[in-house]
Amino acid sequence: MKLKKVMKWISRVVTFTLFVTLVFMIFVVISSKASGGEPQIMGYQLKTVLSGSMEPGIKTGSIIAVKPDGEMTAFEKGDVITFMEESDKLVTHRIVDVIKSGENVMYQTKGDNNDGPDPNPVLSENVVAEYTGFTIPYIGYFINYAQSKTGSALLLVLPGLLLLGYAGITIWQAMSQIDNKSKKEETVEILNET
């Protein structure tokens, strides 16, 4: 009896895990495609950290939440910002100095793990978001893979196939139990008749 209860519990956990994985992957892929890059949750963007320049606070392979809207000229020394360094490269570093020239604002930035400040100041127009302090280590590798064509296809199809396969096994087991119960009842009836 206890074994059956344990097996039912394991079956429910596996089903739930596969379902949650499928739903999460659908969310990541659709959110990434809709936003044109990183997934978004309630106005916050999730960015993948691919370098160790901000360690130990932000580990390589982490995902971080950044707030893209706001006044990009109002940051202060010590704030962590995400900015466009080149046409397609985002960097998240800490502000070590604010340089104001009339209406123009520039930020001198530095990675916490780097020896010196970044060579070029960042124009406020190039700042795309502010780091919120939220980070999840190592999930960024997974998100980065999920955003690739191969990863999104595999990570959408695989949990779905596993869920279907597991459902098939569960149905087959239920059918086997019904067959066994029917055979036992027939055997009992035959024995009772004799």
Mean pLDDT lowest among 3-12, 15-24, 81-90, 163-172:
15-24
**Unique residue bearing structure tokens 């779905």:** 160
What is the rounded average pLDDT for all residues in the chain? 79
The number of CA neighbours under 13 Å toward the Cβ of 48 is 18
Structural domain contains residue 125: yes
Q: What is the pLDDT of residue 110?
A: 92
The domain that contains 77 carries what CATH number? 2.10.109.10
d(CA 9, CA 94): 48
Known catalytic residue at 11: no
- Which candidate in 11, 32, 51, 62 is catalytic? 51
Whether residue 42 is contained in a domain is answered as: yes
Cα distance between the two ends of the chain: 32
Provide the whole-model pTM. 0.59
Does residue 15 belong to any structural domain of this protein? no
Distance CA 150, CA 68 (A): 28
In a domain, 117, yes or no: yes
Residue 132's domain comprises 38-153
The pLDDT tens digits for 29-80 are 666 656 555 666 677 777 888 888 888 888 888 888 888 877 777 888 999 9
Q: Give residue-wise pLDDT tens across range 154-172.
A: 767 777 777 788 778 878 8
In a domain, 115, yes or no: yes
Run of H or E including 110: strand 104-110
Establish if 149 belongs to a structural domain: yes
- 100-132, pLDDT tens digit by residue? 888 888 899 999 889 999 988 888 888 888 888
Give me the number of domains the chain comprises.
Answer: 1
67 part of a folded domain: yes
SS3 68: coil
Q: Is the pLDDT of residue 85 over 80?
A: yes
* In-domain check, residue 24: no
